[in-house]
Structure 1
Amino acid sequence: MEVCRPLKTDDKLKHRPLNPYRFFRGMICLVVFLSTAFMLLAYLGPGAVLFRYLSIQYSRKATSFFFGLWLSMWPFLFEKINGTKVVFSGDDVPRKERILIIVNHRTEVDWMYLWDLAMRKGCLGYIKYILKSSLMKLPVLGWGFHVLEFISVDRKWETDETILHQMLSTFKNPRDPLWLALFPEGTDFTEEKCEKSKKFAAEVGLPVLTNVLLPKTRGFCLCLETLRGSFDAVYDLTIAYKRQCPFFLDNVFGVDPSEVHIHIQRIPINNIPTSDAEAAAWLTNRFKVKDELLSDFKSQGQFPDQKPEEQLSTLQSLLNFTVIIALTTIFTYLTFSYKLCMVYVSLACLYLAYITRCKIFPMPLEFLPFVKGKKDD
């Protein structure tokens, strides 16, 4: 996951031109997304985090519900407002499994399109990402990543291994729905990075890939080692875009992409090797398959075995949007009408900034009589 890059308004390859209407609409959407995120985090974020002292399981359920409503506005923007077509292919997958997702990283917004699939499977609020730590420094959004328990890493295994193991260990409870998304390439794809990846692969005798980077395997193996007993399957997702890869602002202003293609292969967890060496080889082979899929996509314009997924409900999306706007309106009114609420919002922001910076995730207080014995909650 990368920080967004500037929109090139003179780029003739864009699917739609950036006209004044799209620019104005995009600015409104951006203001709505940021303002609603801020108010929800300020009023609900501290409570969601502090509730972990009583029960992690119920804290996650509450967080999933309220912030899942906010996340649902993004697929609504992509598919209903921007008119982006999301095409699914490959395996049919059941609803509400506990899964590990491995995805290729074409551009900075790949991770956002996983929400389109998660929303259709009833797991939008339960998707967690492993992302680089610099993104946690983003104002407001970084707080949201922390409340949603995204796992930040420095991309230095000496420090990341301990952090990953600690965080992953909190997700062992099989009663907690979980979609754990991992981008094994570690960064988004560019031709320059691809050449370096090819050179390294040739030197060490690994497959030379042209459409993806050679995956980093240690994080994947640690995820399996820690959570194998609670996972149902691994979803191998391959993402491709018609015409060109979009950036964040392309999505905001609705100029790209025209189509997003997501190929899904479901692998039962028992079919994945248990040893680290074999699991690493398995992951490398999966990226070889991805490379071939993307080569075929370039020539054919689609992935094989396209599947008709259910369309997003416009009515449900509008209902979710209405709830978020109503809550934001109430919270905004309280903030600017009562000094006590203004003080609360200020303290909430300080608290969220502090726990995000220090990576604080409260654990249940076991000395409380109604919490004792619920360590796994």
Structure 2
Amino acid sequence: MTGWNRVLKFWVIFVIATLNINLVQIFSSPFKLISKSIYTSIIDYSKASFSKFLVILLNLQGNGSVVRVYNPVTVQPQSVIFSNHQLYTDWIYIWTLLYKLESNADHLIIILKHSLKHIPILGWGMQFFNFIFLRRSWAVDNKTLSNQLHQISANSNPYTLLLFPEGTTISNDSRPKSNNFTKKIGVEDFHHLLYPRVTGLLHSLRSLSHNPNLQVIDSTLAYPDIPPGVYGQDWYTLKNTFLRRISPDIIHLHMSSWKLCDIPIHSDDLFTSWLLQRWHEKEQRLRVFQESHTLDPSGKYQDIPLNLTHPLAHTLDAFIYFVPIILEFASQAAQPTRVTSSNCTTTHLGLDDEFTESHCSAVNSRLFVVAATMTEVFISQFLSLGDNFSEEIAIFLVCLVFSTSKVFLEKAHSVSSAVLLRRGALGIALFKNLVMCLHGAFLIHMAIHLALLVVEHAYCLLEVRVL
């Protein structure tokens, strides 16, 4: 697979999935005023869908990973996980592990840096997920953290709070800052870790202390095959992980668990000592890992592959059955009367017909290539179903999904791309054209694949008769 094709596949599948999730979140907004429980259920479903989509992303390039869990523990309905921070994908691996363990993947709340809040599509979705965004200034973050933790603790609903006390990954920028801080307070810095920030974790635990049996999990992450002298974040970058097939085959994760009542959160000094003790234990584990590639010298662990538990159902869940995009297109069907040019349909809005026709033709021709690539991704996803479904059943189900959506899309086609562009809805215009092209490309791919299946079966029958 060429590099550009791999990049194209990733971005098309990423944008379509995240757009579906964003749309279902937006559609659910009125329920926030009508029924908070219904709204919360929809958001939790979108959160679970995103966790499944992350699993698909990790396997999209054919380089699936395994999480090797040392001292595995059962994640309780209400829990806090704190971890060391080596890669920008640490939170992805922990979230997908929760999905595999069927433990609160739909109730995860992550504390992230504030700059991620405004990333188009992804950042918007994280805001709907009720993730907590901090500016790394306690004067500002104190109020933000207190308010959102109060909402979490106001009821008995399940949740898992994930945070990274180091505040950032280890890098050429963060390592000197940690060294300078430890020199300032007169302590020795860690070699494999950054010095932890106590305030955020302590404040979180105190805010959730109404439940004395709250589970607190210490997670230690380690990654193999990082060259000497290179930081993990510089080797397993986002680009390398998702576009270049350079990702860890095995994610090593050690778990330790406490009840909140056994942690000295009543005293700043005692809690600081407790957390530093955890960090010294992490440092020792990572030192052992560097020498023997294990976080537990006893060798006891459980390997958990990061794949979809139910491939077909959860793939459809990840894309929310394409319903949000279909509804968005269908909602545009009721439009004013229109006139038809030779190649493109337009609405009376004083728009130049020549521009409209050329624009629609250009968009459709370019997006046909994207659609063809996209169908290849979906075919590969749906046909890798393991032993639960045959290829023929998978093809039939995929065709059924696209055929059902075609009715809505034909109605949506009455709205021209030019009209949508005139209204400023560039994203909707592009996706409308993409999905319309998708049908043609999909039918071509399906026809070829079915023809190959027929030839294969015919060859097998002929070979049996000859024998």
* TM-score category of the 2 structures, normalised to the smaller one: 0.7 to 0.9
AA aligned to 1:255 is I
Instruction: Work out which of the residue numbers 228, 251, 256 in structure 1 matches 2:241.
Output: 251
How far apart in 2 are the matches of 1:126 and 1:221?
A: 21
Contact map agreement 1:84 1:259 (CA 8 A) in 2: no
Aligned partner of 2:223 in structure 1 is 241
> Could you say if the C-alpha distance between residues 312 and 214 of structure 1 is closer, same or farther in structure 2, counting changes exceeding 3 Å?
closer
Once residues 59 and 325 of structure 1 are traced to their aligned partners in structure 2, the CA distance between those partners, rounded to angstroms, is 19
Q: Which has the higher contact order (CA 8 A, sep 6+)?
A: 1
Deviation at 1:51, TM superposition (A): 2.5
Please say if residues 64 and 307 of structure 2, whose CA atoms lie closer than 8 Å, have aligned partners that are also in contact. no
Give TM-score scaled by structure 2 length.
0.64
**Cα deviation, residue 96, structure 1:** 4.1
The 1:264–1:81 alpha-carbon spacing in structure 2 relative to 1, beyond 3 Å, is farther
On the 8 A contact 2:47/2:105 being kept in 1, the answer is: no
Offset, 1:263: 1.1
CA contact under 8 A between 1:128 and 1:150: conserved in structure 2? Answer: yes
Residue 258 (structure 2) aligned to one of 238, 254, 267: 267
Alignment match, 1:335? 328
Name which one, 1 or 2, has greater alpha-carbon Rg: 2
Q: Which residue of 2 aligns with 1:355?
A: none
Quick one: structure 1 residues 238 and 181, their matched pair in 2 at CA, closer, same or farther if it must change by over 3 Å?
A: same
Q: Pick the aligned partner of 2:44 from 20, 45, 64.
A: 64
Matched residue type, 2:284: E
* C-alpha distance in 2 between matches for 1:90 and 1:268: 19
SS at match of 1:228: coil
The correspondence for 1:83, drawn from 44, 63, 73, is 63
8 Å CA contact retained: 1:91, 1:266? no
1:220 is matched with 201
The 1:269/1:79 distance shift into structure 2, 3 A limit, reads farther
Instruction: Note if 1:316 corresponds to 2:298.
Output: no
Aligned residues: 326
In the alignment, the residues of structure 1 paired with residue 38 and residue 163 of structure 2 have an alpha-carbon distance, to the nearest angstrom, of 25
| Bigger shift: residues 29-38 or 46-55 | 46-55
1:90 deviates by 3.0
Q: Deviations over 1:54-102 (max 9, x none)?
A: 4544433321123312321212432585434323333332244311111
The answer for unaligned runs of 5 or more in structure 1 is: 1-18, 350-377
- Following superposition, the deviation at residue 47 of structure 1 comes to 4.0
Provide the rounded CA distance (Å) in 1 between the counterparts of 2:218 and 2:110. Answer: 15
Q: Could you say if the C-alpha distance between residues 222 and 228 of structure 1 is closer, same or farther in structure 2, counting changes exceeding 3 Å?
A: same
SS of corresponding position for 1:170: helix
Q: CA deviation at 1:310?
A: 4.8
Deviation string 1:129-178 (CA, Å, 9 cap, x unpaired) is 11111111100111101000000111111110011000110001453111
- Report the counterpart of residue 92 of structure 1 in structure 2: 72
Asked if 1:31 is matched to 2:12, the reply is yes
Q: Is the 8 A contact 2:67 2:306 kept in 1?
A: no
- Name the CA distance, whole Å, in 2 between partners of 1:278 and 1:211: 24
2:31 to 35, 39, 51: 51
Identity, % of aligned positions: 22
1:346 and 1:102, CA in 2 relative to 1: closer, same or farther beyond 3 A? farther
The residue number in structure 1 matching 2:101 is 121
Secondary structure of the 1:171 match is helix
Trace 1:1-377 onto structure 2 (pairs within 5 A).
20=2, 24-42=5-23, 44-78=24-58, 82-122=62-102, 123-173=104-154, 175-230=156-211, 232-244=214-226, 245=232, 246-253=236-243, 254-275=245-266, 276-304=268-296, 305-311=299-305, 314=308, 316-325=310-319, 327-328=321-322, 330-339=323-332
| In structure 1, distance between residues paired with 2:240 and 2:143 | 37
Q: Distance in 1 between matches of 2:320 and 2:278?
A: 45
Q: Distance in 1 between matches of 2:37 and 2:301?
A: 34
Considering fraction of residues, name the structure with more helix. 2
Relative to 1, partners in 2 of residues 1:172 and 1:326: Cα closer, same or farther, differing over 3 Å? closer
Q: Which amino acid aligns with 1:331?
A: P
Query: In the TM superposition, what is the alpha-carbon distance from 1:198 to its structure 2 partner?
Result: 2.5
TM-score scaled by length of structure 1:
0.78
Asked whether the equivalents of residues 65 and 305 of structure 2 are also in contact (C-alpha less than 8 Å), the reply is no
Contact 1:87–1:260 (CA under 8 A) maintained in structure 2: yes
RMSD: 2.7
Counterpart amino acid of 2:269? A
Q: For residue 298 of structure 1, what is the amino acid of its counterpart?
A: Q
Structure 1 residues 168-221: Cα deviation after superposition (integer angstroms, max 9, x where no partner): 100014531111011111111114422331232133133421111111111111
| Structure 2 unmatched runs, 5+ | 227-231, 335-411, 428-467
